[in-house]
Amino acid sequence: MRMILDVTRRLPERPHYTQEELDEISEYAVTSYLTEKHGNALFPICTDDLASLIEVHAEDLDLYADLSQLGSDVEGVTLFNPDGKPSIRIAARLSEAKRENRLRTTLAHELGHALLHNILFERCTGPGLFDDEEVQTDRVQACREGNMLNAGQSDWMEWQAGYVSGAILMPATQVRLVIAHRFPNYIRGGLAACGDLFEAMVGEVQSAFQVSSEAARIRLLKLQVVRDAGLTSTLF
């Protein structure tokens, strides 16, 4: 990682990671936690363990927050804290039946902000509390449904957290093991992201890691297991 100018002007500088660095950070965070807790790292990570992992890296976690004041499509919020760990809020509606994949994606996304971005706000001043009276907008990262998995790269903070979301739920090493086991004759990058074989890969990843088909597709593309020139930038 190196620091570069933040052209969005939110911060003087921002971190620039390779995708390999993001994979390493994410995989270490999730596998070391699971190994310490259970003696080994098995996937899919259960939702309770995912929430508990967040609690290691956050000051507090609210799974039933009312985020409507920030917009109807806001599903998660990270409140950066200059004095310690961040606070994380998850929209209450994600705890409804049949929305567990959205909940898991959002939890992993906010964990990405905690792992990568809270340190950037250490020099901020002011109260930084999230309550009904005031929202400290300079330290609030409101994460919208459409940006959870694959934000545009101009929004570097959301792009990085989205990448970590996929890497926490579907660690690179584990994804490659699944593909190698189920498709032993497949050569990485030898397939375009379409057709029956690709859909079979998506299904295997979806099942192995308890994610949506959309999340599985994006992860296979970003890991360059399959080819798609529009989604495989290696630096951000």
Q: Which of 131, 151, 169 is the last residue of a domain?
A: 169
Domain span at residue 62 reads 16-169
Same domain, 91 and 192: no
Same domain, 59 and 145: yes
Same domain, 180 and 108: no
Same domain, 130 and 178: no
Q: Is residue 29 part of a domain?
A: yes
Same domain, 161 and 208: no
Same domain, 58 and 44: yes
Burial of 64 (0-12, 13-18, 19+ CB in 10 A): exposed
Rounded-to-integer distance, Cα 160 and Cα 16, Å: 9
pTM of the model: 0.90
Q: How confident is the model at residue 10, as a pLDDT? A: 84
DSSP codes of every residue in 147-191: GTTT--TTSHHHHHHHHHHHHHHS-HHHHHHHHHHH-TTPPTT-S
Q: List the structure tokens of 19.
A: 């995708």
Same domain, 164 and 180: no
pLDDT, tens only, 140-191: 999 999 888 888 878 999 999 999 999 999 999 999 999 999 999 888 888 8
Q: How confident is the model at residue 193, as a pLDDT? A: 82
Same domain, 111 and 86: yes
Q: How confident is the model at residue 133, as a pLDDT? A: 38
DSSP at 134:
-
**Nearest CA to 161 among 171, 150, 173?**
150
Same domain, 218 and 133: no
Please enumerate in sequence order all residues whose Cβ is within 8 A of that of 63, keeping only pairs 6 or more positions apart, or say none.
51, 90, 92, 94, 95, 103
Q: How confident is the model at residue 236, as a pLDDT? A: 57
Same domain, 44 and 139: yes
Low-confidence residues of the chain, pLDDT below 70? 123-137, 229-236
Please enumerate in sequence order all residues whose Cβ is within 8 A of that of 48, keeping only pairs 6 or more positions apart, or say none.
none
Domain count across the chain: 2
Please enumerate in sequence order all residues whose Cβ is within 8 A of that of 77, keeping only pairs 6 or more positions apart, or say none.
65, 67, 70, 88, 89, 110, 130, 140, 141, 142, 143
Q: Is residue 227 part of a domain?
A: no
Q: How confident is the model at residue 34, as a pLDDT? A: 98
Q: Is residue 156 part of a domain?
A: yes
Burial of 232 (0-12, 13-18, 19+ CB in 10 A): middle
Q: Is residue 8 part of a domain?
A: no
Q: Is residue 231 part of a domain?
A: no
Q: Which of 125, 144, 169 is the last residue of a domain?
A: 169
Q: Is residue 84 part of a domain?
A: yes
3-class DSSP assignment, residue 143: strand
Q: Is residue 165 part of a domain?
A: yes
Same domain, 95 and 84: yes
Q: Which of 148, 169, 190 is the last residue of a domain?
A: 169
Same domain, 144 and 195: no
Q: Is residue 193 part of a domain?
A: yes
